Amino acid sequence: MTVDDLGFSSRAIHAGQEPDPTTGAVVPPIHQVSTYKQDGVGGLRGGYEYSRSANPTRTALEECIASLEGGERAFAFASGLAGEDTVLRALLAPGDHVVVPSDAYGGTYRLFNRVLKPWGVEHSIARVADVESVRAALRPETRMVWVETPTNPLLGIADIAAIAEVAHAAGALLVVDNTFASPYLQNPIALGADVVVHSTTKYAGGHSDVVGGAVVVAAGAMTPRGESVVERVAFHQNSMGAVAGPFDAWLVLRGLKTLAVRMERHCDNAEVVVDFLQGHPGVTAVHYPGLPDHPNHEVASRQMKRFGGMVAFRVKGGEDVAAKVCAETRLFTLGESLGGVESLIEHPARMTHASVAGTELEVPADLIRLSVGIEDAADLVADLRQALDRLT
């Protein structure tokens, strides 16, 4: 039996993490080191020569994430955006075209629009919840389709398998940002994606104490130019150097061990919060893929194990009321980011998505986004109730 035959929770705890051969330590040590003694010139012990190229703590994390996502190889980065940038520069060249989602993490869109575009990589925006919109956005130069699902902040759902077919028929790669679902709830590679990216800052790390990213490549994935995606990403990870440091890699590895139990509780609590919000007179809309009236609920049910811990809703009274609700909760902390054990609340239009104001990705001004944590659900509901009862 190899570790890849084990269930998800067993792999999260053991993949890439044999007890330390010299001491028997059951947790991989933090190899806080830049260089390694060689036994004669070129005589590397275990392949390590310099920690930008490889570091044992980072290797443990990379092997664990590759196993959890069902990929051939994973690569760990200093942030989610560093991983995204590396993928884009490894797989695209000036003159190429990318289809990007109309509802996406603002920083991802900023990378396409303000960093990649001046270097000659063009993009078009598609509504990824609608496969036909993706197909219509394709051009002869399209080399990549980028999808985020569920989307941030509106919790839209893209049909990964259907979009993989459309992308591949056009000779393009499909990249899926799986940050919101986490590998516990959804495995895009099994549905046809070529590359998965994560901000491990979020659910993978899970404790709001580290910034990191990961890129996972499907077995045998080739670029439209006929090169190995694993080799391209590996070369660029080392050449560009935005790697995860050993302590950060260790924190994410530690977070992953409890991912399954945390995600179950995030989902349980989100369901209770959604139920409360739907019954509150001050709430005009609730966005959650687990709701039967969500436009792509059926797709979400097919490709996700459960529906996650992210919830968005709109309030009566517009932007000012939304901003006040965010300022008046106590247990829900007002802050950016998501996926930690503690609940967070934020106002996307003025916070996480301020960078897309005035673009096609602009979000509704009366929208509030919740990252539902793993506290007691009754306390979370009571907190939202006191804020909404007073303000809406």
Ligand X SMILES: *Cc1c(COP(=O)(O)O)cnc(C)c1O
Q: Which residues bind ligand X (CB under 6 A)?
A: 79-81, 105, 107-108, 148, 152, 177, 179-180, 199, 201-202, 211, 213
Q: Torsion angle, CA of 173/167/68/292, rounded to 10 degrees? A: 150
| Residue 379: C-alpha distances to residues 145, 205, 252, 329, 373 (Å) | 41, 24, 28, 11, 11
Count helices and strands in the chain by DSSP H and E runs: 13, 12
Comparing CB distances to ligand X, the nearer of 244 and 387 is: 244
Q: Quick one: 107 or 192, whose CB is closer to ligand X?
A: 107
Known catalytic residue at 52:
yes
Helices (H), the chain: 8-14, 56-69, 80-91, 106-110, 131-137, 160-169, 182-185, 229-240, 246-257, 259-278, 297-303, 318-328, 377-391
Q: Which is nearer to ligand X, 114 or 385 (CB)?
A: 114
Nearer to ligand X, 180 or 250 (CB): 180
Nearer to ligand X, 213 or 245 (CB): 213
* CB of 375 vs ligand X, minimal distance in Å: 21
Query: Which of these, 287, 283, 347, 344, lies nearest to 319 by C-alpha position?
Result: 347
Least distance from ligand X to the Cβ atom of residue 18, Å: 28
Is 202 one of the annotated active-site residues of the chain? Answer: yes
Distance from C-alpha of 276 to C-alpha of 252, rounded to nearest angstrom: 32
Annotated active-site residue 96? The verdict is no
Q: How far is the CB of 101 from ligand X (least distance, A)?
A: 10
Residues 6+ apart with CB under 8 A from 236: 86, 89, 90
DSSP 113: I
Nearest residue to ligand X, scored by beta-carbon proximity: 80
Q: Tell me the closest approach of the beta carbon of residue 14 to ligand X, in angstroms.
A: 26
Neighbours of 53 (CB within 10 A): 14
Q: Please indicate whether residue 117 is annotated as part of the active site.
A: no
* Active-site annotation holder among 202, 262, 306, 314: 202
Q: Which of 85, 103, 177, 248 is catalytic?
A: 177
For the CB of residue 78, give the shortest distance to ligand X in the complex, in Å.
Answer: 8
Q: Which residues are marked as active site? A: 52, 105, 177, 202
